[in-house]
Structure 1
Amino acid sequence: MMNGLPYLSAGTGPALVVLLYTPRAANPTGLARWSTMRMVRPFTEHFTVHVVNRPPGLPSTTTMADLAALYAQAIKTTFEGPVDMLAISTGGSIALQLAADHPDLVHRLVLGGTACTLGPVGKRAQRTYIERARRGRRPSPALAEIVTESAIGQRLLRCLLWLSDSGQKDHTDAVTVLNAEDGFDLGGRLHDIKAATLLIQGGKDLVYPLDLARRTVEGIPGARLVVYPGRSHSGTFTDRRFAPDALAFLTTT
Protein backbone atom coordinates (compact mmCIF):
# COMPACT_ATOMS: atom_id res chain seq x y z
CA MET A 1 0.00 0.00 0.00
CA MET A 2 1.15 3.56 -0.75
CA ASN A 3 -0.08 5.54 2.22
CA GLY A 4 -3.20 3.37 2.22
CA LEU A 5 -3.61 3.26 -1.57
CA PRO A 6 -3.23 -0.03 -3.48
CA TYR A 7 -0.59 0.11 -6.22
CA LEU A 8 1.50 -1.91 -8.66
CA SER A 9 5.09 -1.03 -9.55
CA ALA A 10 7.40 -2.02 -12.41
CA GLY A 11 10.50 -0.72 -14.18
CA THR A 12 13.52 1.32 -13.21
CA GLY A 13 14.30 5.02 -13.21
CA PRO A 14 12.48 8.10 -11.91
CA ALA A 15 8.91 7.74 -10.69
CA LEU A 16 5.95 7.87 -13.07
CA VAL A 17 2.60 7.80 -11.26
CA VAL A 18 -0.20 6.32 -13.36
CA LEU A 19 -3.88 6.99 -12.64
CA LEU A 20 -6.52 4.87 -14.39
CA TYR A 21 -10.19 4.09 -13.90
CA THR A 22 -10.91 0.63 -12.55
CA PRO A 23 -14.36 -0.61 -11.48
CA ARG A 24 -12.93 -1.99 -8.24
CA ALA A 25 -10.89 0.05 -5.78
CA ALA A 26 -8.08 -2.50 -5.73
CA ASN A 27 -5.13 -3.66 -7.78
CA PRO A 28 -6.42 -5.25 -10.99
CA THR A 29 -6.21 -9.03 -11.29
CA GLY A 30 -6.38 -11.56 -14.09
CA LEU A 31 -6.99 -10.19 -17.57
CA ALA A 32 -7.39 -6.63 -16.26
CA ARG A 33 -3.95 -6.80 -14.64
CA TRP A 34 -2.38 -8.20 -17.80
CA SER A 35 -3.97 -5.44 -19.89
CA THR A 36 -2.84 -2.72 -17.48
CA MET A 37 0.74 -3.90 -17.34
CA ARG A 38 0.85 -4.34 -21.12
CA MET A 39 -0.21 -0.72 -21.55
CA VAL A 40 2.44 0.66 -19.19
CA ARG A 41 5.25 -1.68 -20.30
CA PRO A 42 6.83 0.81 -22.75
CA PHE A 43 7.11 3.34 -19.91
CA THR A 44 8.97 0.89 -17.64
CA GLU A 45 12.05 1.18 -19.86
CA HIS A 46 12.48 4.78 -18.73
CA PHE A 47 10.60 5.04 -15.42
CA THR A 48 9.64 3.19 -12.30
CA VAL A 49 5.92 3.05 -13.02
CA HIS A 50 3.50 3.12 -10.09
CA VAL A 51 -0.10 2.30 -11.05
CA VAL A 52 -1.94 3.75 -8.05
CA ASN A 53 -5.58 3.06 -7.23
CA ARG A 54 -8.10 4.58 -4.85
CA PRO A 55 -8.88 2.94 -1.49
CA PRO A 56 -12.08 0.92 -1.10
CA GLY A 57 -15.01 2.01 1.01
CA LEU A 58 -14.89 5.75 0.35
CA PRO A 59 -17.97 7.74 1.43
CA SER A 60 -20.68 8.11 -1.20
CA THR A 61 -20.26 11.90 -0.93
CA THR A 62 -16.61 11.76 -2.08
CA THR A 63 -15.70 14.51 -4.56
CA MET A 64 -12.91 14.79 -7.11
CA ALA A 65 -11.14 17.16 -4.73
CA ASP A 66 -11.35 14.50 -2.01
CA LEU A 67 -9.88 11.89 -4.35
CA ALA A 68 -7.13 14.26 -5.44
CA ALA A 69 -6.25 14.94 -1.80
CA LEU A 70 -5.83 11.20 -1.15
CA TYR A 71 -3.42 10.83 -4.05
CA ALA A 72 -1.61 14.04 -3.10
CA GLN A 73 -0.96 12.77 0.41
CA ALA A 74 0.38 9.48 -0.97
CA ILE A 75 2.76 11.36 -3.28
CA LYS A 76 3.96 13.62 -0.45
CA THR A 77 4.75 10.70 1.85
CA THR A 78 6.31 8.45 -0.81
CA PHE A 79 8.38 10.66 -3.12
CA GLU A 80 10.82 13.51 -2.76
CA GLY A 81 9.66 16.44 -4.82
CA PRO A 82 7.15 16.56 -7.70
CA VAL A 83 6.48 13.51 -9.87
CA ASP A 84 5.68 12.88 -13.51
CA MET A 85 2.17 11.57 -14.08
CA LEU A 86 0.30 9.63 -16.76
CA ALA A 87 -3.47 9.69 -16.37
CA ILE A 88 -6.21 8.25 -18.54
CA SER A 89 -9.97 8.80 -18.77
CA THR A 90 -11.47 9.24 -15.27
CA GLY A 91 -7.93 8.99 -13.93
CA GLY A 92 -7.26 12.11 -15.98
CA SER A 93 -10.06 13.95 -14.23
CA ILE A 94 -8.46 13.12 -10.89
CA ALA A 95 -5.04 14.16 -12.18
CA LEU A 96 -6.34 17.51 -13.42
CA GLN A 97 -7.90 18.18 -10.01
CA LEU A 98 -4.69 17.13 -8.27
CA ALA A 99 -2.51 19.29 -10.50
CA ALA A 100 -4.75 22.31 -9.86
CA ASP A 101 -5.09 21.79 -6.10
CA HIS A 102 -1.49 20.69 -5.48
CA PRO A 103 0.63 22.25 -8.27
CA ASP A 104 3.85 21.62 -6.35
CA LEU A 105 3.41 17.84 -6.63
CA VAL A 106 3.20 17.36 -10.42
CA HIS A 107 6.18 18.01 -12.70
CA ARG A 108 5.01 16.73 -16.09
CA LEU A 109 1.49 15.55 -16.87
CA VAL A 110 0.39 13.37 -19.78
CA LEU A 111 -3.36 12.97 -20.15
CA GLY A 112 -5.12 10.53 -22.44
CA GLY A 113 -8.80 10.63 -23.34
CA THR A 114 -9.99 13.12 -20.77
CA ALA A 115 -11.01 16.76 -20.30
CA CYS A 116 -11.94 19.33 -17.69
CA THR A 117 -15.47 17.90 -17.51
CA LEU A 118 -17.55 15.09 -19.00
CA GLY A 119 -19.34 15.53 -22.30
CA PRO A 120 -23.13 15.02 -22.46
CA VAL A 121 -22.94 11.42 -23.70
CA GLY A 122 -20.39 10.46 -21.07
CA LYS A 123 -22.41 12.13 -18.34
CA ARG A 124 -25.62 10.40 -19.43
CA ALA A 125 -23.97 6.98 -19.62
CA GLN A 126 -22.31 7.31 -16.23
CA ARG A 127 -25.54 8.50 -14.59
CA THR A 128 -27.37 5.50 -16.04
CA TYR A 129 -24.59 3.23 -14.72
CA ILE A 130 -24.99 4.75 -11.25
CA GLU A 131 -28.78 4.40 -11.32
CA ARG A 132 -28.66 0.78 -12.47
CA ALA A 133 -26.15 -0.10 -9.76
CA ARG A 134 -28.22 1.58 -7.05
CA ARG A 135 -31.27 -0.42 -8.17
CA GLY A 136 -29.34 -3.69 -7.98
CA ARG A 137 -29.10 -4.17 -11.74
CA ARG A 138 -25.91 -5.00 -13.60
CA PRO A 139 -24.64 -1.51 -14.48
CA SER A 140 -22.06 -1.97 -17.23
CA PRO A 141 -24.53 -2.16 -20.17
CA ALA A 142 -25.06 1.58 -19.61
CA LEU A 143 -21.57 2.19 -20.99
CA ALA A 144 -22.31 0.79 -24.45
CA GLU A 145 -23.24 4.19 -25.86
CA ILE A 146 -19.83 5.66 -25.07
CA VAL A 147 -18.10 2.93 -27.08
CA THR A 148 -20.01 3.14 -30.37
CA GLU A 149 -22.70 5.24 -32.02
CA SER A 150 -23.99 2.23 -33.97
CA ALA A 151 -27.39 1.04 -32.73
CA ILE A 152 -26.57 -2.55 -33.66
CA GLY A 153 -23.15 -2.29 -32.05
CA GLN A 154 -24.68 -0.93 -28.87
CA ARG A 155 -27.17 -3.81 -28.64
CA LEU A 156 -24.43 -6.39 -29.03
CA LEU A 157 -22.13 -4.59 -26.63
CA ARG A 158 -24.82 -4.28 -23.96
CA CYS A 159 -25.09 -8.07 -23.93
CA LEU A 160 -21.33 -8.49 -23.55
CA LEU A 161 -21.15 -5.85 -20.82
CA TRP A 162 -24.06 -7.51 -18.99
CA LEU A 163 -22.09 -10.75 -18.99
CA SER A 164 -18.95 -8.95 -17.79
CA ASP A 165 -20.75 -8.01 -14.57
CA SER A 166 -21.59 -11.63 -13.73
CA GLY A 167 -18.73 -12.08 -11.27
CA GLN A 168 -19.17 -8.81 -9.41
CA LYS A 169 -22.17 -7.97 -7.26
CA ASP A 170 -20.93 -4.92 -5.36
CA HIS A 171 -20.43 -1.84 -7.54
CA THR A 172 -20.32 0.64 -4.67
CA ASP A 173 -16.72 1.76 -5.26
CA ALA A 174 -17.34 2.34 -8.97
CA VAL A 175 -20.49 4.34 -8.23
CA THR A 176 -18.58 6.51 -5.76
CA VAL A 177 -15.87 7.55 -8.21
CA LEU A 178 -18.26 8.00 -11.16
CA ASN A 179 -20.56 10.09 -8.99
CA ALA A 180 -17.57 12.24 -8.05
CA GLU A 181 -16.78 12.75 -11.74
CA ASP A 182 -20.41 13.63 -12.46
CA GLY A 183 -19.94 16.78 -10.40
CA PHE A 184 -16.47 17.51 -11.77
CA ASP A 185 -15.89 20.67 -13.81
CA LEU A 186 -12.43 22.24 -13.61
CA GLY A 187 -13.00 24.66 -16.46
CA GLY A 188 -12.64 27.72 -14.27
CA ARG A 189 -9.42 26.56 -12.60
CA LEU A 190 -7.29 25.21 -15.42
CA HIS A 191 -4.96 28.22 -15.08
CA ASP A 192 -3.94 26.87 -11.65
CA ILE A 193 -2.15 23.93 -13.29
CA LYS A 194 1.58 24.62 -13.48
CA ALA A 195 2.81 21.24 -14.74
CA ALA A 196 4.01 20.86 -18.32
CA THR A 197 0.95 19.18 -19.84
CA LEU A 198 0.22 17.06 -22.91
CA LEU A 199 -3.30 15.85 -23.74
CA ILE A 200 -3.71 13.07 -26.29
CA GLN A 201 -7.28 12.79 -27.57
CA GLY A 202 -9.21 10.71 -30.05
CA GLY A 203 -11.10 12.67 -32.68
CA LYS A 204 -14.22 10.55 -32.06
CA ASP A 205 -14.07 10.34 -28.26
CA LEU A 206 -17.72 10.22 -27.13
CA VAL A 207 -16.97 10.53 -23.40
CA TYR A 208 -14.88 13.70 -23.55
CA PRO A 209 -15.55 15.30 -26.96
CA LEU A 210 -12.76 17.01 -28.84
CA ASP A 211 -14.17 20.50 -28.20
CA LEU A 212 -13.82 19.91 -24.46
CA ALA A 213 -10.27 18.63 -24.96
CA ARG A 214 -9.40 21.80 -26.85
CA ARG A 215 -11.00 23.93 -24.12
CA THR A 216 -8.93 22.07 -21.53
CA VAL A 217 -5.64 22.61 -23.32
CA GLU A 218 -6.42 26.26 -24.00
CA GLY A 219 -6.95 26.83 -20.29
CA ILE A 220 -3.68 25.26 -19.09
CA PRO A 221 -0.67 27.55 -19.60
CA GLY A 222 1.66 26.09 -22.24
CA ALA A 223 -0.30 22.84 -22.65
CA ARG A 224 -0.17 20.84 -25.90
CA LEU A 225 -2.85 18.79 -27.67
CA VAL A 226 -2.27 15.79 -29.92
CA VAL A 227 -5.33 14.48 -31.79
CA TYR A 228 -5.71 11.01 -33.30
CA PRO A 229 -8.38 11.55 -35.99
CA GLY A 230 -11.02 8.85 -36.11
CA ARG A 231 -10.01 7.24 -32.83
CA SER A 232 -12.57 6.49 -30.14
CA HIS A 233 -12.21 6.96 -26.41
CA SER A 234 -10.60 3.59 -25.69
CA GLY A 235 -8.97 3.55 -29.12
CA THR A 236 -6.81 6.47 -28.05
CA PHE A 237 -4.95 4.46 -25.40
CA THR A 238 -4.51 1.39 -27.59
CA ASP A 239 -3.24 3.37 -30.57
CA ARG A 240 0.35 2.41 -31.38
CA ARG A 241 1.32 6.11 -31.32
CA PHE A 242 0.17 6.69 -27.75
CA ALA A 243 3.18 5.40 -25.79
CA PRO A 244 5.81 6.92 -28.15
CA ASP A 245 4.07 10.30 -28.11
CA ALA A 246 3.72 10.26 -24.34
CA LEU A 247 7.32 9.15 -23.83
CA ALA A 248 8.67 11.79 -26.20
CA PHE A 249 6.99 14.43 -24.06
CA LEU A 250 8.01 12.90 -20.73
CA THR A 251 11.65 12.41 -21.66
CA THR A 252 12.35 15.69 -23.44
CA THR A 253 10.24 18.36 -21.72
Structure 2
Amino acid sequence: MTMDIRRGVAAGVPYAAIGSGPPVLVSAGLWPTTGVGSEAMVSGAIGPLKTLAGERTLVVVNRRGGMPADLGMRGIAAEYAELIREEFGGRADVLGTSTGGSIVQQLAVDHPDAVRRLVLISTACRLGPETKHYQAQTGRLLRRGRTRAAMGVAIMEFMPRGLGPLGRATGWITARRLVPDDDAAADLATTLEAEDRFDLARLAPPISVPTLVVGGGKDKFYDRALFEETAALIPGARLLIVAGKGHIAVTNSAAAQTAIADFLRGE
Protein backbone atom coordinates (compact mmCIF):
# COMPACT_ATOMS: atom_id res chain seq x y z
CA MET A 1 0.00 0.00 0.00
CA THR A 2 1.36 3.42 -0.95
CA MET A 3 1.81 5.54 2.15
CA ASP A 4 0.54 8.92 0.95
CA ILE A 5 -0.31 10.20 4.41
CA ARG A 6 -2.41 13.29 5.14
CA ARG A 7 -2.10 14.37 8.76
CA GLY A 8 -4.46 16.56 10.71
CA VAL A 9 -5.97 17.25 14.13
CA ALA A 10 -9.67 17.26 15.04
CA ALA A 11 -11.22 17.45 18.51
CA GLY A 12 -7.65 17.71 19.78
CA VAL A 13 -6.84 14.23 18.41
CA PRO A 14 -4.07 13.81 15.80
CA TYR A 15 -4.91 11.56 12.87
CA ALA A 16 -3.27 10.22 9.72
CA ALA A 17 -5.49 9.60 6.66
CA ILE A 18 -4.62 7.34 3.73
CA GLY A 19 -6.64 6.76 0.57
CA SER A 20 -10.12 7.92 -0.46
CA GLY A 21 -13.69 6.76 -0.06
CA PRO A 22 -15.92 6.21 2.98
CA PRO A 23 -13.89 6.49 6.22
CA VAL A 24 -12.69 3.67 8.45
CA LEU A 25 -11.41 4.96 11.80
CA VAL A 26 -8.48 2.78 12.87
CA SER A 27 -7.65 2.88 16.58
CA ALA A 28 -4.02 1.80 16.83
CA GLY A 29 -2.68 -0.72 19.31
CA LEU A 30 -0.54 0.34 22.26
CA TRP A 31 2.40 2.48 21.13
CA PRO A 32 4.91 3.93 23.59
CA THR A 33 4.34 7.51 22.42
CA THR A 34 1.26 9.51 21.48
CA GLY A 35 0.23 10.92 18.11
CA VAL A 36 0.62 9.60 14.58
CA GLY A 37 4.08 10.83 13.63
CA SER A 38 5.52 7.32 13.31
CA GLU A 39 5.08 5.83 9.83
CA ALA A 40 5.80 2.39 11.32
CA MET A 41 2.87 2.78 13.69
CA VAL A 42 0.54 4.01 10.91
CA SER A 43 1.61 1.19 8.58
CA GLY A 44 1.09 -1.42 11.28
CA ALA A 45 -2.32 -0.03 12.23
CA ILE A 46 -3.70 -0.30 8.69
CA GLY A 47 -2.23 -3.77 8.11
CA PRO A 48 -5.54 -5.60 8.70
CA LEU A 49 -7.19 -3.41 6.03
CA LYS A 50 -4.81 -3.98 3.13
CA THR A 51 -7.50 -5.55 0.97
CA LEU A 52 -9.55 -2.34 1.24
CA ALA A 53 -6.80 -0.19 -0.30
CA GLY A 54 -8.30 2.06 -2.93
CA GLU A 55 -11.84 1.69 -1.57
CA ARG A 56 -11.72 3.54 1.73
CA THR A 57 -10.14 6.43 3.57
CA LEU A 58 -8.22 4.80 6.41
CA VAL A 59 -8.00 7.22 9.34
CA VAL A 60 -5.43 6.16 11.95
CA VAL A 61 -5.79 7.64 15.43
CA ASN A 62 -3.60 7.30 18.49
CA ARG A 63 -3.87 8.81 21.94
CA ARG A 64 -3.15 12.52 22.12
CA GLY A 65 -0.45 13.97 24.31
CA GLY A 66 -1.15 15.74 27.57
CA MET A 67 -4.02 13.52 28.67
CA PRO A 68 -5.33 14.17 32.20
CA ALA A 69 -4.45 11.28 34.50
CA ASP A 70 -8.13 10.58 35.17
CA LEU A 71 -9.29 10.75 31.52
CA GLY A 72 -10.08 7.02 31.33
CA MET A 73 -11.46 5.02 28.41
CA ARG A 74 -14.69 7.01 28.43
CA GLY A 75 -12.81 10.27 27.93
CA ILE A 76 -10.56 8.92 25.18
CA ALA A 77 -13.57 7.43 23.38
CA ALA A 78 -15.48 10.73 23.62
CA GLU A 79 -12.62 12.51 21.87
CA TYR A 80 -12.61 9.92 19.07
CA ALA A 81 -16.38 10.32 18.66
CA GLU A 82 -15.98 14.08 18.37
CA LEU A 83 -13.26 13.62 15.76
CA ILE A 84 -15.65 11.48 13.67
CA ARG A 85 -18.34 14.14 13.96
CA GLU A 86 -16.07 17.08 13.17
CA GLU A 87 -14.00 15.62 10.38
CA PHE A 88 -15.67 12.56 8.87
CA GLY A 89 -19.39 13.21 8.50
CA GLY A 90 -20.52 12.08 11.92
CA ARG A 91 -20.36 8.31 11.34
CA ALA A 92 -17.67 5.84 10.31
CA ASP A 93 -16.75 2.20 10.28
CA VAL A 94 -14.36 1.60 13.17
CA LEU A 95 -11.56 -0.91 13.72
CA GLY A 96 -9.58 -1.24 16.93
CA THR A 97 -6.56 -3.45 17.59
CA SER A 98 -5.39 -4.55 21.05
CA THR A 99 -5.51 -1.49 23.37
CA GLY A 100 -7.11 0.46 20.52
CA GLY A 101 -9.83 -2.18 20.55
CA SER A 102 -10.62 -1.46 24.20
CA ILE A 103 -11.03 2.21 23.33
CA VAL A 104 -13.43 1.57 20.46
CA GLN A 105 -15.53 -0.83 22.51
CA GLN A 106 -16.12 2.12 24.84
CA LEU A 107 -16.76 4.31 21.79
CA ALA A 108 -19.45 1.93 20.50
CA VAL A 109 -21.15 1.75 23.91
CA ASP A 110 -21.17 5.51 24.56
CA HIS A 111 -21.52 6.83 20.99
CA PRO A 112 -23.30 4.24 18.82
CA ASP A 113 -24.46 7.02 16.50
CA ALA A 114 -20.81 7.55 15.45
CA VAL A 115 -20.13 3.89 14.58
CA ARG A 116 -21.55 2.14 11.51
CA ARG A 117 -19.74 -1.20 11.85
CA LEU A 118 -17.17 -2.30 14.43
CA VAL A 119 -14.18 -4.62 14.03
CA LEU A 120 -12.29 -5.79 17.12
CA ILE A 121 -8.99 -7.53 16.41
CA SER A 122 -6.58 -8.99 18.99
CA THR A 123 -8.64 -7.42 21.77
CA ALA A 124 -11.31 -8.54 24.20
CA CYS A 125 -13.84 -7.42 26.77
CA ARG A 126 -11.12 -7.13 29.41
CA LEU A 127 -7.43 -7.89 29.86
CA GLY A 128 -6.40 -11.42 30.70
CA PRO A 129 -5.14 -11.77 34.30
CA GLU A 130 -1.45 -12.09 33.45
CA THR A 131 -1.51 -9.15 31.04
CA LYS A 132 -3.43 -7.06 33.56
CA HIS A 133 -0.77 -7.80 36.18
CA TYR A 134 2.13 -6.75 33.96
CA GLN A 135 0.37 -3.65 32.62
CA ALA A 136 -0.45 -2.51 36.15
CA GLN A 137 3.18 -3.06 37.16
CA THR A 138 4.38 -1.07 34.14
CA GLY A 139 1.99 1.79 34.96
CA ARG A 140 3.12 1.95 38.60
CA LEU A 141 6.78 2.08 37.60
CA LEU A 142 6.09 4.87 35.08
CA ARG A 143 4.29 6.91 37.75
CA ARG A 144 7.32 6.51 40.01
CA GLY A 145 9.66 7.81 37.32
CA ARG A 146 11.27 4.40 36.80
CA THR A 147 10.97 4.40 33.02
CA ARG A 148 13.80 1.94 32.37
CA ALA A 149 12.33 -0.65 34.72
CA ALA A 150 8.85 -0.05 33.26
CA MET A 151 10.00 -0.67 29.71
CA GLY A 152 11.85 -3.77 30.87
CA VAL A 153 8.58 -5.20 32.20
CA ALA A 154 6.64 -4.13 29.09
CA ILE A 155 9.05 -5.68 26.58
CA MET A 156 9.49 -8.80 28.69
CA GLU A 157 5.74 -9.36 28.36
CA PHE A 158 6.05 -9.50 24.55
CA MET A 159 8.97 -11.93 24.55
CA PRO A 160 8.52 -15.71 24.17
CA ARG A 161 8.59 -17.61 27.43
CA GLY A 162 12.14 -18.22 28.59
CA LEU A 163 13.45 -14.99 27.08
CA GLY A 164 12.20 -12.69 29.84
CA PRO A 165 15.70 -11.57 30.94
CA LEU A 166 16.50 -10.53 27.36
CA GLY A 167 13.26 -8.53 27.25
CA ARG A 168 14.09 -6.73 30.48
CA ALA A 169 17.56 -5.87 29.22
CA THR A 170 16.20 -4.63 25.89
CA GLY A 171 13.64 -2.43 27.64
CA TRP A 172 16.29 -1.00 29.97
CA ILE A 173 18.59 -0.11 27.05
CA THR A 174 15.93 1.35 24.74
CA ALA A 175 13.68 3.01 27.33
CA ARG A 176 14.50 6.62 26.55
CA ARG A 177 14.18 6.04 22.83
CA LEU A 178 10.74 4.50 23.37
CA VAL A 179 9.53 6.92 26.05
CA PRO A 180 11.62 10.05 25.57
CA ASP A 181 10.47 12.21 28.49
CA ASP A 182 8.32 12.43 31.61
CA ASP A 183 5.29 13.68 29.66
CA ALA A 184 5.38 10.63 27.39
CA ALA A 185 5.72 8.39 30.44
CA ALA A 186 2.68 10.02 32.07
CA ASP A 187 0.55 9.62 28.91
CA LEU A 188 1.51 5.96 28.62
CA ALA A 189 0.69 5.36 32.29
CA THR A 190 -2.72 7.03 31.83
CA THR A 191 -3.49 4.70 28.92
CA LEU A 192 -2.42 1.57 30.80
CA GLU A 193 -4.46 2.55 33.86
CA ALA A 194 -7.52 3.22 31.72
CA GLU A 195 -7.27 -0.19 30.08
CA ASP A 196 -6.70 -1.93 33.41
CA ARG A 197 -10.08 -0.58 34.59
CA PHE A 198 -11.93 -1.39 31.36
CA ASP A 199 -14.44 -4.26 31.35
CA LEU A 200 -17.13 -4.44 28.69
CA ALA A 201 -19.24 -6.73 30.90
CA ARG A 202 -19.75 -3.85 33.34
CA LEU A 203 -20.87 -1.36 30.69
CA ALA A 204 -24.47 -0.67 29.70
CA PRO A 205 -26.20 -0.67 27.33
CA PRO A 206 -24.41 -3.40 25.33
CA ILE A 207 -22.76 -2.63 22.01
CA SER A 208 -25.58 -2.43 19.48
CA VAL A 209 -23.76 -1.93 16.17
CA PRO A 210 -22.82 -4.84 13.84
CA THR A 211 -19.54 -6.25 15.18
CA LEU A 212 -16.83 -8.66 14.05
CA VAL A 213 -14.41 -10.06 16.65
CA VAL A 214 -11.13 -11.49 15.29
CA GLY A 215 -8.61 -13.30 17.47
CA GLY A 216 -5.56 -15.47 17.04
CA GLY A 217 -5.68 -19.02 18.31
CA LYS A 218 -2.24 -18.50 19.88
CA ASP A 219 -2.71 -14.96 21.22
CA LYS A 220 -0.44 -14.57 24.25
CA PHE A 221 -2.56 -11.85 25.86
CA TYR A 222 -6.14 -13.00 25.23
CA ASP A 223 -7.20 -16.65 25.26
CA ARG A 224 -10.02 -18.14 23.20
CA ALA A 225 -12.44 -17.97 26.14
CA LEU A 226 -12.02 -14.19 26.33
CA PHE A 227 -12.67 -13.77 22.60
CA GLU A 228 -15.76 -15.95 22.92
CA GLU A 229 -17.01 -13.99 25.94
CA THR A 230 -16.50 -10.73 24.05
CA ALA A 231 -18.59 -11.93 21.12
CA ALA A 232 -21.26 -13.22 23.51
CA LEU A 233 -21.52 -9.79 25.18
CA ILE A 234 -22.35 -8.13 21.83
CA PRO A 235 -25.73 -9.17 20.38
CA GLY A 236 -25.32 -10.63 16.89
CA ALA A 237 -21.52 -10.37 16.87
CA ARG A 238 -19.52 -12.56 14.51
CA LEU A 239 -16.42 -14.33 15.84
CA LEU A 240 -13.39 -15.50 13.84
CA ILE A 241 -10.54 -17.35 15.54
CA VAL A 242 -7.56 -17.79 13.22
CA ALA A 243 -5.76 -20.98 14.22
CA GLY A 244 -2.03 -20.81 14.80
CA LYS A 245 -1.79 -17.01 14.83
CA GLY A 246 -0.59 -14.87 17.69
CA HIS A 247 -1.45 -11.39 18.90
CA ILE A 248 0.32 -9.53 16.08
CA ALA A 249 0.51 -12.21 13.37
CA VAL A 250 -3.27 -12.48 13.14
CA THR A 251 -3.49 -8.88 11.89
CA ASN A 252 -1.52 -9.87 8.79
CA SER A 253 -3.30 -13.17 8.09
CA ALA A 254 -5.13 -13.49 4.79
CA ALA A 255 -8.12 -15.10 6.54
CA ALA A 256 -8.51 -12.16 8.92
CA GLN A 257 -8.03 -9.52 6.21
CA THR A 258 -10.59 -11.15 3.93
CA ALA A 259 -13.14 -11.49 6.73
CA ILE A 260 -12.65 -7.86 7.77
CA ALA A 261 -12.99 -6.54 4.21
CA ASP A 262 -16.12 -8.60 3.56
CA PHE A 263 -17.67 -7.46 6.85
CA LEU A 264 -16.98 -3.78 6.21
CA ARG A 265 -18.41 -4.10 2.70
CA GLY A 266 -21.59 -5.44 4.27
CA GLU A 267 -21.19 -8.95 2.89
Kindly report which structure 2 residues correspond to 1:231-246, keeping only aligned pairs within 5 A, or say none: 231-246=245-260
**Aligned partner of residue 212 in structure 2, secondary structure:** strand
**Aligned partner of residue 107 in structure 1, secondary structure:** strand
* Distance (whole Å) between structure 1 residues aligned to residue 44 and residue 90 of structure 2: 30
Counterpart in the other structure of 2:152: 141
Q: Alpha carbons of 1:211 and 1:28: their partners in 2 closer, same or farther (altered >3 Å)? A: farther
Counterpart in the other structure of 1:89: 98
Counterpart in the other structure of 1:19: 27
* Distance (whole Å) between structure 1 residues aligned to residue 108 and residue 42 of structure 2: 26
**Is residue 2:168 matched to residue 1:158?**
yes
Compute the displacement of 1:67 (Å). Answer: 1.0
Equivalent residues, number = 252
Counterpart in the other structure of 2:181: 169
Counterpart in the other structure of 1:3: 11
Counterpart in the other structure of 1:213: 227
User: Percent of aligned positions with the same letter in both sequences?
Assistant: 35
* Deviation larger for 138-147 or 223-232: 138-147
Q: Is the 8 A contact 2:73 2:106 kept in 1?
A: yes
Paired residue for 2:208, among 166, 170, 194?
A: 194
* Distance (whole Å) between structure 2 residues aligned to residue 158 and residue 240 of structure 1: 33
Q: Is the 8 A contact 2:33 2:188 kept in 1?
A: yes
Q: Is the 8 A contact 1:56 1:173 kept in 2?
A: yes
Residue deviations 1:217-248 (CA, integer Å, cap 9, x gap): 01111101111223222222233433222112
2:54 alignment partner AA: E
1:169 alignment partner AA: D
**Is residue 2:256 matched to residue 1:249?**
no
* Distance (whole Å) between structure 2 residues aligned to residue 39 and residue 213 of structure 1: 18
Residue deviations 1:154-200 (CA, integer Å, cap 9, x gap): 22233233333232233111111111111111113375212110011
Paired residue for 2:141, among 89, 109, 132?
A: 132
Compute the displacement of 1:47 (Å). Answer: 0.6
Q: Is the 8 A contact 2:228 2:239 kept in 1?
A: yes
Counterpart in the other structure of 1:183: 197
Compute the displacement of 1:148 (Å). Answer: 4.4
Consecutive unaligned residues of structure 2, counting only runs of 5 or more, are 1-8
What TM-score comes out, normalization by structure 1 length? 0.91
Residue deviations 1:195-225 (CA, integer Å, cap 9, x gap): 1100110122232222111111011111011
Consecutive unaligned residues of structure 1, counting only runs of 5 or more, are none
Q: Is the 8 A contact 1:111 1:197 kept in 2?
A: yes
Q: Is the 8 A contact 2:16 2:60 kept in 1?
A: yes
Compute the displacement of 1:78 (Å). Answer: 1.8
* Deviation larger for 20-29 or 93-102: 20-29
* Distance (whole Å) between structure 1 residues aligned to residue 46 and residue 206 of structure 2: 32
Q: Is the 8 A contact 2:48 2:256 kept in 1?
A: no
Q: Alpha carbons of 1:36 and 1:116: their partners in 2 closer, same or farther (altered >3 Å)? A: closer
Counterpart in the other structure of 2:119: 110
Q: Is the 8 A contact 1:199 1:226 kept in 2?
A: yes
